Structure 1
Amino acid sequence: MAVILSVSMLLPVGAHMTYAASKYVVLEAQWEDGHIDHVQTLLKDGVTYGSFFSLGSEASLHWSMEDKDTAVLSGSKKRIVVYMGSSIAEVDGQKVDMGRAPVWYISHLYVPIKFLAAALDGEVTGWDPKSGKVTITGLHNYNDTFSRSLWGYTYRIQSEVGDLEITNVKTGKLVTIPLGIKDIDVNTHNLTFDFEVTSKNLLIASILYSDRKTGVYDLYTLVFKNQGLIRKSIAHGLTEQIESIRSDGNIQLINDENIRVIEDGTGHVLEVNAR
């Protein structure tokens, strides 16, 4: 009695749990970015269900209960809504019949895995009738924000905008630097931040947007002095590693046309060479 009561307190008001004819089976979730998850999922009355919030979180979607009967996964590029007691869901504004209504079971919300895989732009590609193991492939990640923090500042790029936003954590002051990184796709590319400090205290921020398959990358390099931007350079289609700080202590900035040598400390351009 105490166990049932403690579990029921985890559920929204009005939610119902069913233990009869339910069991866990293995779900292998293969994501388009290459990683694989093995998790328990629910087999109930001959239908395999996946955890709505768990898989949604893996896809970098935010989950919430809009009310006691409405569960939502949302991001800038994806929105999935399911309703308690109804087999009709919404995916990106379009109504979809899941075949079965959502199920609350041991404090988790489950929906038919075939529907959930398709809603995450994947599909069910395998099922073992003996073990019940289900394999889904091609699942997308909808991460829409990339950020790093350094010295009391947050550096953030939102995929729908593609510019660098720098926020002073203490004052809340926001500065936006146009970069124009278009069509960020975390399923095929990596976006990473790197910071270096020169011997004369210039800060170099390097942003790499690289194709995981080919290794070709775009390099966005910004030089700051006393937190103010003094130099910016953008180079596309690089294949070799570029060192921002040269052996003589000066800085090299590469763009699509040339390579500039920048004096450490002052930020002055010392020379310009063809790329």
Structure 2
Amino acid sequence: MKRLWLLVPVLLMVCMLPAMASAAGTAYFKYTYDGGGQVTTNALLKDGTVYVSAGIMESAGLRVTWDKAQKQAMFRGWQKSVKVTVGGRTAAIDGKAVSLGGVPFRYRDELYVPARFLVQALDGQSVSWDAQQRVYTASGIHSYESTSATYGGVTYTVDKKNGKLYTATPAGGMRLMADLGSQLYDMVNFDFKKTGKGLIYLTITDVYGEPHINNKWYTLIIKDGMVIRQASVHYWKRYGDNVKMYGSSLLLTDGRTLRVIEDGTGKVTATLDLVKLGGEEDSYLVEGMDDDFLLIRPNDKGLLMLIDRHTGEKTLLYKELLDPDQQEYAEMNDVPFFGDQLQYLRREGNTLYFENGAVRDGREYPYVLKGMS
């Protein structure tokens, strides 16, 4: 009986060992991205080592998959891979074994890794440790975000950090296709269109900001795997579509000029000055075109204009098609954006048909091209 009572304290100590081993103090991890932006987050100080949530790697654009049997987490992103094993002392960065400088563990359903290792994995730099304030500081943390799409057996990948577009095929390696000219941020999408004579019209859109009020378009014309024409345009609080083709011609705009491009060859057959035609110092959407007319909308005022391509005459369509109340709404309303919500539907003979997105009552608004009735 006495021996049993003697064993109780020992058993209690054994049961407490995991809790004692996992005991950690509070600390902080402050870091900056190489492209700007500073973040401060909670960390843990354990056995003299600062540990941080491996979720920071996900914030940097890496996606995690778990091998529960092996207790391994694999983080993958654009040209970056990190493998970590819970309880292990080595890890792998881009396939190469490295020392962790600590032992990864799970705490409150999160994986924690040594801060120094995380900074190394994300190509950053450790700056300092403030023991009094318990703040571990790092800089130059990289982002590895990318977006990909596959079309015609070719995978297109844009590196969001630097705007470089790469292609890869199963039979060949990866190669740089184009430089889009700027960083991409958030909701990136690809749209592919094959032309009648074998060109590819690729549109990459990026909607970003808070609350997603920026709309950036990157347009590329591709022939035999090579970019032969490209442009980009930025719109603010404006989300309409630019028309890509009319007839057999391709259209490419930077918001201020419009190039008409011959299918098959990529030859520029006409260049239109949208600022001069529209009369507003602004970026324009191109919402319709034919040999005799052009439909453009300035970003700020948002009032759809019809341009007579023969005379250059400009017509504000809301004045021609909408009743007085709807005209006032087009001039004064700013939700979701300034301007009218006329949308071009089709052409029948010399009549153009529109709908009014502000009411969506199923009505069509006809407009007869002047001098052609």
Taking structure 1 as the reference length, the TM-score comes to 0.58
Matched with 2:272 is 261
TM-superposed CA distance for 1:232, in Å, is 3.7
Q: Is the 8 A contact 1:19 1:105 kept in 2?
A: no
Q: How far is the alpha carbon of 1:206 from its aligned partner?
A: 2.6
The corresponding residue for 1:252 is: 258
Per-residue deviation, 1:61: 0.7
Distance change (3 Å), C-alpha of 1:111 and 1:17: farther
Q: Which moved more, 1:65-74 or 1:114-123?
A: 65-74
Q: Quote the residue 1:110 is aligned against.
A: 112
Within 2, Cα distance between the matches of 1:107 and 1:194? 33
Q: Go from structure 1 to structure 2 and tell me whether the alpha carbon gap of 1:191 and 1:267 turns closer, same or farther (over 3 Å shift).
A: farther
CA distance in 2, matches of 1:43, 1:115: 14
Q: Where in structure 2 are there 5+ consecutive unaligned residues? A: 1-17, 150-154, 168-175, 186-204, 208-214, 220-229, 234-241, 262-266, 275-285, 295-308, 311-373
Instruction: Work out whether residues 26 and 44 of structure 2, in 8 Å CA contact, stay in contact via their aligned partners in 1.
Output: yes
Hey, what does 1:71 align to over in structure 2?
73
**Could you tell me how far 1:267 is from its partner in structure 2?**
5.3
Bigger Rg over Cα: 2
For residues 46 and 27 of structure 1, do their structure 2 counterparts lie closer, same or farther at Cα, with a shift above 3 Å needed? same
Q: How many aligned residue pairs are there?
A: 196
Q: Distance in 1 between matches of 2:60 and 2:67?
A: 19
Matched residue of 1:82: which SS?
Answer: strand
Match of residue 178 from structure 2:
181
CA distance in 2, matches of 1:41, 1:229: 58
Match of 1:191 in 2: 184
- Distance of 2:30 and 2:118 partners within structure 1: 14
Aligned to 1:140, which of 135, 139, 142?
Answer: 142
Q: Does 1:46 align with 2:66?
A: no
Query: Which segments of 5 or more consecutive residues in structure 1 lack a partner in the other structure?
Result: 1-15, 148-155, 165-178, 196-203, 209-217, 234-241, 245-250
Which residue of 250, 255, 259 corresponds with 1:230? Answer: 250
Partner deviation per Cα, 1:170-229 (whole Å, 9 max, x = no partner): xxxxxxxxx932498xxxx4237379xxxxxxxx98329xxxxxxxxx843674249x98
SS of the equivalent of 2:165 reads coil
1:220 equivalent in structure 2: 232
Q: Structure 2 vs 1, CA of residues 194 and 78 (structure 1 numbering), >3 Å: closer, same or farther?
A: closer
Residue 159 in structure 1 maps to residue 170 in structure 2: no
For residue 168 of structure 1, what is the aligned residue in structure 2? none
SS of equivalent to 1:191? coil
